[in-house]
Copies of this chain bind each other. A is one copy, B any other.
């Protein structure tokens, strides 16, 4: 599938991007980045940690936090807004929208029409300069809809 080849390409480009940003390339950073690029979920630090621990049991949770912060600072990933108490991260930097399940809390990405085009309507913006936008759809995913 073309999609996964594209992801692999981003992973291959990571060491160069990393050094370009003035960061050293370490196994821990490669592991965190690869995991975030590959998943369609929006994992929390704890989830990143336990996933990576399967392969590299010596990694520490504090390191995961430090790496995520650093990646945010360098613009490699971004934080997703959530209503619950944990941070969630996303390596998909293309503008896209979210389906948020009120049942299980899962967040699914969907591509928007032309999200760059959206502007707030009316004159209530008070000089606000829009840089980007995303739609949050709340509801129930396939699994949870069948239960409710």
Contacts and interface: CB of A to CB of B under 8 A. Distances in A.
Interface of A: 79-83, 85, 87, 97, 99, 101-102, 108, 110-113, 118, 120-122, 124-142, 145
Central interface residue in A118, A120, A126, A132, by most chain B CB within 10 Å: A120
B130 A138 contact: yes
B125 A129 contact: no
Contacts of A101: 128
Given A79-B83, A80-B83, A82-B81, A110 B124 contact: yes
A132 B138 CA distance: 5
A132 B122 contact: no
A136 B133 contact: yes
Contacts of A122: 110-111
Contacts of A113: 121
Given A132-B138, A134-B135, A125 B111 contact: no
A140 B101 CA distance: 29
